[in-house]
Amino acid sequence: MRKKYRSHVGVLLDILRAIDEEGGANVTRIMLKANIPYDRLKFYLTKLINEGYLEKRINDEGKTVYVLTPKGVKLLSELLFLKEFFDSMGLPL
């Protein structure tokens, strides 16, 4: 059976949502929650950091975690709105 296709926007939404739900997440947690392979995830994380949507931080345990910036929170909110809109029209994001 063929897997369901996700657009770039859908992948971004899944990544941002995974980070938001965790309140900051490491690469492994994002990979698991967003269902994305490491190499693709690193591409998106780099892009999101460069555009100011994410920050890379070191937590209390010394591990690298990614957190949403205020700009990232706004992007997540707008993507969730778009997803709801497209879903209501029967068009997957």
CATH of the domain at 36: 1.10.10.10
Q: Is residue 93 part of a domain?
A: no
No. of H helices and E strands in the chain?
Answer: 4, 2
Domain enclosing residue 14, as ranges? 8-85
**pTM of the model as a whole:** 0.90
Q: Is residue 92 part of a domain?
A: no
What is the average pLDDT across 84-89?
A: 91
Residue bearing the bigger pLDDT, 3 or 79: 79
Q: Is residue 90 part of a domain?
A: no
User: Quick check: 86 pLDDT over 80?
Assistant: yes
What is the three-class DSSP state of 38? helix
**Count of domains forming the chain:** 1
Residue 2's pLDDT band, with cuts at 50, 70 and 90, is very low
Specify burial of residue 21 (Cβ count, 10 A radius: 0-12, 13-18, 19+): exposed
Q: What is the phi/psi pair of residue 22, to 5°?
A: -85, -15
Closest CA to 24 of 56, 70, 60, 50: 56
